[in-house]
Amino acid sequence: MILKTEALTKVFELRPGKRVTAVDDLSLEVEQGEIFGFIGPNGAGKTTTIKMLMGLIYPTRGRALVFDAPIPSKASKARIGYLPENPSYHEFLTGAEAMRFFATLSGVPRAEQSARCEELLALVGLSEARDRQIRKYSKGMQQRLGIAQALVSDPAFVVLDEPMSGLDPIGRREMRDLILLLKRRGKTVFFSTHILPDVESLCDRVGVIHAGKLLEVGRLGNLLSPRLTSVELSAVVPERAREALGRGRTIARDGDLFTLSFDDESAGEEAMRAVLAAGGRVVSFTPHRETLEDFFMRRLSEGSGRAGPAPERRAAS
């Protein structure tokens, strides 16, 4: 295991007699070489958890281990690279100057700093902007610089807090590509987000947190229901076949071209056969299964009153 938390809990005292439990009895494990997505709505406890893992705040109770070293400790911090949700820089520095500063703080030997920094700036696509002041960097460029600084000590475990936050579609794509590249380079990546499509495209496993409680953890293939949730039929429908569409919901219509959704697969197939028998034309027939967004909303609804963390779902042997 790269990371293991045991009953990790954080209670904030807002004022005398007023306490808020931000993270409640969280126990999970992250395995070597995987991309682990930590998902939940805003305010769920994701950033508080990550700050405890980084040793920036202390848990009220429970503990966390990285490579069997307790957090916080020199041994654990030496093997972690961290990108905070809102990285802050000395904006008068250039990208290259900032990287050398980070390398010095991380204890990279002076003789290795120049080569290491240039390699990482190239890795994140900032070589051409190396001599530009950070204040002139876009949000996406600042996020990429944050990835570079997180890697400057060559950590085995990379923790990214909301790395897609505030990025445009191009920036999100670049960040996804970088995360996959880190995995190919043998890094273990733990990142938090509320942008669910990014999780589906990247993660080996996910953990769902809500109101400070871990509701679910496991591989997407084990968490998502294999059952069809609906089927979608798009077809050119002759007048005499339109009665067969009665069990479907019309999503769109353009003249004789109908797009409908059916909750029952057999009803969709029956409508498709009726269209074909009447001389119509089927453009598409698309089955839909549970998406991560469907699962996420279902678990938040089911788990709002749950008393404790869920065991990990594993595939049957």
Is the residue at 310 inside a domain?
A: no
pLDDT in tens, 172-205: 888 889 899 999 989 999 999 888 888 888 999 9
Residues counted in the chain: 317
**Looking at the predicted structure, is the pLDDT value of residue 307 above 60?**
no
Q: In angstroms, rounded to a whole number, what is the distance separating the alpha carbons of residues 134 and 92? A: 6
Q: Which parts of the chain are beta strand (E)?
A: 3-15, 18-30, 35-39, 61-66, 69-70, 80-83, 157-161, 188-193, 205-210, 213-219, 228-236, 249-254, 257-262, 281-289
**Looking at the predicted structure, is the pLDDT value of residue 56 above 50?**
yes
Is 49 in the same domain as 183?
Answer: yes
Both ends of the chain: CA-CA distance in Å? 21
Q: Which of 221, 239, 255 is the last residue of a domain?
A: 221
Is 117 in the same domain as 52?
Answer: yes
pLDDT level of residue 226 (50, 70, 90 thresholds): low
CATH of residue 167's domain is 3.40.50.300
Strand 35-39, strand 188-193: pairing: parallel
Is 205 in the same domain as 253?
Answer: no
Residues in contact with 208: Cβ distance below 8 Å, sequence separation at least 6, in sequence order: 39, 40, 214, 215, 216, 217, 296, 299, 300, 303
Q: In angstroms, rounded to a whole number, what is the distance separating the alpha carbons of residues 27 and 15? A: 28
Q: In angstroms, rounded to a whole number, what is the distance separating the alpha carbons of residues 127 and 120? A: 9
**Looking at the predicted structure, is the pLDDT value of residue 221 above 90?**
no
Nearest-5° angle of CA 138, CA 34, CA 229?
90
Q: Count the domains in the chain.
A: 2
**Looking at the predicted structure, is the pLDDT value of residue 76 above 90?**
no
Q: In angstroms, rounded to a whole number, what is the distance separating the alpha carbons of residues 97 and 132? A: 10
CATH of residue 268's domain is 3.30.70.1150
Query: Looking at this protein, which amino acid is placed at residue 255?
Result: G
Q: Which domain holds residue 117?
A: 3-221
Q: Which helix (H) or strand (E) holds 48?
A: helix 46-53
Q: Are 204 and 180 within 8 A, CB to CB? A: no
Is 207 in the same domain as 252?
Answer: no
pLDDT in tens, 10-52: 999 888 888 999 999 999 999 999 999 999 888 889 999 999 9
Average pLDDT, the chain: 87
* Chain centroid to CA 135: 27
Q: In angstroms, rounded to a whole number, what is the distance separating the alpha carbons of residues 52 and 59? A: 6
pLDDT at 36: 96
